Structure 1
Amino acid sequence: MNLSVHSHDVHGQSLTASGLGIHLPDETPLTAIRQAVLDHGVTLLRNVHFDEASFRCFVESLGDKVSYADGSAKVGYGFADILNLDGTHDKEKVITGRGSLPLHTDGILLGTQVDLIILYAADVKGIDEDGATVVCDQLAAWNDMPESLRRPLLDGRLEYLAFERGYFATVPEGWYPISTFRDYGRVRSLNLALPFDGQAKASWDVRVPGLTAEASTAWFAALEQHLTAAPYLYSHRWRTGDLLIIDNQRTLHGRRGLQPLTCRKLLRGQVTFEEIASAPGATLAGE
């Protein structure tokens, strides 16, 4: 089974040894970024100046903004469209909190199609490698993946359990299956969220159907080691004014945990290029 992307030939300095991503010059116009991220998978632009209103307008210029309303208004603690990833000290909030997040696909547990993830650093103080956003070139990692790691993915489904009910307000309360692949017509790629590393609070859990707990844990550990190998991974150290846009169909991403006396406040938007499929309560903004 091939994972593939339909893209133009690209040139220039990449962010990973596998060829993913590009750091754009500061003078790059915002109107050029959408094509750049489609060509390169990840784009970084520094020294950008947004408030929340102008950031929302920029997100809307990139595609159909994902929004939650009506029966799913409580999804993501009620963020609706622009999520504040503010590094809260509220220990009940994991996704917007200070702990690490394992590599994952945005929208996987909610069943939402997300094509681009737009992250903007509104305020950053006192962080270095902590708080970094990590991005995996999953297509390159798949091409090099040994058969022993591929096999459970080729079986087609993993099972998930959502713990963070304030964020995943609409998903089933027990274990439920999710397809390991997705294809919305642009990229065929892995649909995946790795388990948490044993930190005090987890947002979700995942297991391989038919394996013992020990065998499932061992397989995920080996898979994570492969996906986070140096050739496939970009680790972004945030500075105020950074704009990082990730093609969610070509990548997996996660977060390194934050130290106690640090500040990392990001704004996050999501857009899709097609009608949102199988997303409970998700709508295109403005409908």
Structure 2
Amino acid sequence: MSAVLRPTDTETTPVRLDSNNLGTLHITPLDAPLGARVSGIDLRDRPTAAQVLALKAALRRHHILVFSGQSPSDQQYLDFTLHFGTVFTSPRNAPVLGSDPYGNTPDVVRVSNVDDGLLGNHELPAHADHHWTPQPSAGSLLLALEVPAQGGDTTWRNLALAYDALDEATRREIDGLQLITYNPFLRSKKPLPGGKVDYRTPDIEPVTPWVAHPLVRTHPDSGRRALFLGEGTEVELVGYEPQAGAALIARLRAHLLQDRFAYTHRWQVGDVVYWDNQITLHGRTEFNPAQRRVLKRISLSGSTPF
């Protein structure tokens, strides 16, 4: 009987989880800076306690989990997801993807370029979901129903590895800094005359409400330190000279966007990817608008970053 995958287990050896309680569940690390492939489990079925614990441990170690060949109904998808936490709910004054005019968001968000979907076909820069809310989501699951022949790939980036790879002087410089990530949905209601900016300076009126989070976040379960910074969202360092702050953020962004921290997923129908939103970024390549891309996302509640 194999042991449940634990944070101290090797990251390079495929792990076979095969017991009466674990069934045929396999968790195999990807040949990438983050991620593991999960097989031998059907999201339409109720997982055992041992399977849930194994998947939680694997997510803590690998940050993203890739399932293939899945076809749950919305209710089965939600039932499976709720084994890992409660559904994320945003504050009514902090809209997110899928929010209606009253601030309500469905449990299952349709991420699509067609019908009643919420996104087009354009490229999406690397970001953490709900970064601008007081308690950003802990993680999300995304189920692929229709995918384009080319494009629409998603790249995840390992923010813990990115932080570890910084030189000691830079880590000393950024530890303890607070970062405001402004809400892009609120900014879209107050567009800037010169267009989008990546760093807010004093001449630009901020959108409210806003919240500051640590630039270097501690993962609430593993204790790993990670850069908590997206690629292109409007941000501002608290109490930092604007020109120096903009230069520092630009330098950190160039660092975390290196390929050595990234895994790119080419979607297939039936894929589900479960990622830790507290320690990764994700972004999407553009695709032909004449082709359909339909996915469904469920996000899980998180905690106040520290």
Asked whether the two chains share a fold, i.e. TM above 0.5, the reply is yes
Is the contact between residue 68 and residue 80 of structure 1 (CA under 8 Å) also seen in structure 2?
A: no
Is the contact between residue 182 and residue 234 of structure 2 (CA under 8 Å) also seen in structure 1?
A: yes
CA–CA distance in 1 between the matches of 2:188 and 2:42? 34
* Shift in Å, 1:101: 2.7
CA–CA distance in 2 between the matches of 1:237 and 1:58? 23
2:85 equivalent to 1:56: no
Is the contact between residue 229 and residue 253 of structure 2 (CA under 8 Å) also seen in structure 1?
A: no
Look up the match of 2:234.
Answer: 205
TM-score by length of 2: 0.68
Look up the match of 1:154.
Answer: 175
Paired residues for 1:195-234 under 5 Å: 195-196=231-232, 204-209=233-238, 210-213=240-243, 215-234=244-263
Letter of the aligned partner of 2:281 in structure 1?
A: L
Higher relative contact order (CA 8 A, sep 6+): 1
Counterpart of 1:164 in 2: which secondary structure?
A: helix
Number of residue equivalences? 253
Counterpart of 2:87 in 1: which secondary structure?
A: strand
* Shift in Å, 1:191: 6.0
Q: Please list every run of 5 or more consecutive structure 2 residues that lacks an aligned counterpart in the other structure.
A: 1-5, 15-27, 190-205
Larger strand percent = 1
CA–CA distance in 1 between the matches of 2:146 and 2:8? 34
Alignment deviations for residues 115-160 of structure 1 (CA, whole Å, 9 cap, x no partner): 2211110111322xx2221111211221111346535532421233
Look up the match of 2:20.
Answer: none
Are the structure 2 counterparts of residues 21 and 7 from structure 1 closer, same or farther at C-alpha, using a change threshold of 3 Å?
same
Alignment deviations for residues 11-66 of structure 1 (CA, whole Å, 9 cap, x no partner): 32533543x211223x3344336333234321111111123232222222322222
Task: Pick the aligned partner of 1:126 from 136, 144, 149.
Answer: 149
TM-score by length of 1: 0.72
2:42 equivalent to 1:21: no
Is the contact between residue 142 and residue 296 of structure 2 (CA under 8 Å) also seen in structure 1?
A: yes
- The answer to which of 131-140 and 103-112 deviates more is 103-112
- The answer to which of 182-191 and 130-139 deviates more is 182-191
Look up the match of 1:265.
Answer: 294
Alignment deviations for residues 171-213 of structure 1 (CA, whole Å, 9 cap, x no partner): 95276533224446313443623242xxxxxxx4113453445
Which has the greater radius of gyration? 2
* Shift in Å, 1:278: 5.5
2:77 equivalent to 1:66: no
Counterpart of 1:245 in 2: which secondary structure?
A: strand
RMSD: 3.5
CA–CA distance in 2 between the matches of 1:136 and 1:107? 16
Counterpart of 2:297 in 1: which secondary structure?
A: strand
Look up the match of 1:46.
Answer: 68
